[in-house]
Structure 1
Amino acid sequence: MASHPSRLGPADIFVALVMNLLWGLNIIAIKMSVDQVPPTTAAFLRLSIVFLVCLPWLRIVPGRMRALLLLGLLTGCLFFLVINLSLMVATNVGVLAIAGQLGVPFSMLAAVIVLKEQIHVLRIAGVALSLAGVGILAFDPAVANEIPGVALTILSSIIWAGASLIQRSLKGVPVLTIYAWIGLVGMVGLSLSALLIEPAGIASIPDLPPAVFGWIAFSAIGSSVIGHGSMSWLLQRHPISQVMPLTLAAPVMSVAAASLFFGTPLTPIMILGGLIALSGVAIVTIRTAKVAKKERPPQVL
């Protein structure tokens, strides 16, 4: 393992910006795809692309296969399906971008409950702020019609939190190998689900316009492969305490991009709730990264 540079250089900043931009714009790509393709079929296509891109890195990892398959089921099947469903029923996707930030505090709470990690006052305050920020959205009349989408987004955050525990047991496994298995399990599971509940969606795949495949490919390659590959590249070069705070720009970009692209309003209550939620997420992210700074970063790529 190479030693880590003490400072982020221009290349690191550029990679972090690209990573956040890809993650931030992904909410548009998913919404555009599920508006034209049934959600299970869209998720199947996305995971199929992830699998094909990562196929050269697919390999048996002794002692880790149960974790890889379970991660594939949670992330490859359930998480992407629920995310697609949430965006399909939503009109103001910026609200979902705010609610989606609960994945960070939920993953920390899962580590506290399951792994018995210690939690202190600052991180408890961060969790409380993030929950309060999302709770404030309920008082916005403009959000009244988005409750089903928000509920599904919260469910996806819970699934993501559970998956994060499994990912922690996969340290040392290359990220592209992990995503090859996520892609394979997701592709198989979602294909069976789509054939069962969306046969017309599967049958329509050959007739889909190229633009739809473009949006789905952006999610698969841009967000999943390049985005997470960039994170892994940064973790190879710098301590986790320096890298994790860099991800905080992504939700801001998501909300801004959704508002600009779809023309949905950003009400004062949404802005207040978003700022409070992001403040809580920032506290949890930065404090958790500092707690973990003595851990060896995962060996990837």
Structure 2
Amino acid sequence: MAKRVTAPAPIRFGTRDLLVAAMMNVLWGLNIIAVKMGVEATGPFTAAALRQAIVFMVCASALRIVPGRMRELIGLGLLSGGIFYMFVNASLFVADNVSALAIAGQVGVPFSMILAVVFLGERIHFIRMAGMGLAFLGVALLVFDPAAGREIPGMLLTAAGSFIWAVSSLIQRRLRGVPVLTIYAWMGLVGTIVLVPVAVGFESDVVRSLPDLPLGDFGWIAFSAIGSTIGGHGAMSWLLQRHAVSAVVPLTLAAPVISVVVASLFFATPLTPLMIAGGVVALAGVAIVTIRTARVNEGEGKSA
């Protein structure tokens, strides 16, 4: 008689897990300051090219051909490693109120859900539809706030970048099982190849002056590459290997809150009652979509 195989008991969140989750949120939350400072010190495209070059150098040892996955890896590098940073860095370059951009960036989650419905045939019900509606409503409220309404060009660029991120998230679903460092090695390589010509073409004076770039300014870009991209996503990967998706994903919701608050404090920009209301509504919608999606995905994984 065959022995019944029982699934291993899930690992409970311990002090180390919570510290890793906290570090992940802090790294992601502070990144908006680092990106803004790096963009101001160099230029949107030069800062992006330097960031991706650093990512590639750190992850280069993990670069390898992954049979059957190269189209996805190259596509992800083109979109998430290159074009995404053009929009995001450009948005931070033209904007003064960075907190408004941090709120506007939350539309990436509902964008991702809409694309999954259109291209993957996923079915969503009222709860996630309501969450998407709240996310868009919260961002829309910013238009009526004088402090944030002046940042419409930046918010539109942020929304475009969020759409690119949403498309990239669909590609990443096809890369399950590929090591995180290998993914980021390809993103860094392809992103650098895409961004360097753009930086040379539009910011040639900045590129020529890079040897004189102060170490402190370079440090902001290095923080984005190593801290946010590699450290933050590495922590996320580590947590997902130990815990259920539905337990880990909600922990990421602290990052945008940190971004909004620290950006307002660091750059001394107003965080008005209407901005706070819009941010709360948008983050509530994102939380509903994120948590509900994580539970659905976990349930599908168990039934597979």
1:188 is aligned to 2:193: yes
Q: Does the alignment pair 1:9 with 2:3?
A: no
Deviations 1:46-65 (A, max 9, x none): 00000000011110000000
1:102 & 1:59 partners in 2: Cα distance? 33
Normalized against structure 1, the TM-score is what?
0.96
Backbone CA RMSD of aligned residues: 1.2
Aligned partner of 2:50 among 45, 50, 57: 45
CA distance in 2, matches of 1:9, 1:47: 33
Instruction: State the secondary structure of the residue aligned to 2:279.
Output: helix
- C-alpha distance after superposition, 1:3-40 (max 9, x if no partner): 46342111111000000000000000000111111111
Say whether the 8 Å CA contact 2:80–2:168 is kept in structure 1.
Answer: yes
Name structure 2 gaps, 5 residues minimum: 1-6
Residue 291 of structure 2 is aligned with which of 252, 267, 286?
Answer: 286
Instruction: Give, in angstroms, the shift of residue 256 of structure 1.
Output: 0.7
Which whole-Å CA distance do the structure 2 matches of 1:134 and 1:208 have between them? 36
1:109 corresponds in structure 2 to 114
Equivalent residue number for residue 175 of structure 1: 180
Q: Quick one: distance in 2 between partners of 1:271 and 1:192? A: 39
2:62 to 54, 57, 66: 57
Map residues 1-301 of structure 1 onto 2, 5 A cutoff: 3=8, 5-294=10-299
The answer on whether the counterparts of 1:4 and 1:239 sit within 8 Å (CA) in structure 2 is no
Partner AA of 1:47 in structure 2: Q
CA distance in 2, matches of 1:34, 1:4: 46
Tell me, in whole angstroms, the C-alpha distance in 2 between the residues paired with 1:109 and 1:7: 33
Sequence identity percentage: 62
User: Normalised by the size of structure 2, how large is the TM-score?
Assistant: 0.95
Query: What is the CA distance between 1:295 and its match in structure 2?
Result: 5.2
Structure 1 moving runs of 4+ over 4 Å = none
Could you say what secondary structure the match of 2:298 adopts? coil
Larger Rg: 2
- 8 A Cα contact 1:4 1:238, kept in partner: no
Task: Measure, in 2, the Cα distance between the counterparts of 1:110 and 1:205.
Answer: 39
User: What SS does the corresponding residue of 1:293 show, helix, strand or coil?
Assistant: helix
Q: CA deviation at 1:296?
A: 5.2
Q: Which amino acid aligns with 2:199?
A: A
8 A Cα contact 1:107 1:164, kept in partner? yes
Provide the C-alpha distance between the structure 2 equivalents of 1:109 and 1:242, rounded to a whole number of angstroms: 23
The structure-2 alpha-carbon separation of the partners of 1:61 and 1:95, relative to structure 1 and needing over 3 Å to count, comes to: same
Instruction: Tell me, yes or no, if the aligned pair for 2:264 and 2:270 is still in contact at 8 Å.
Output: yes
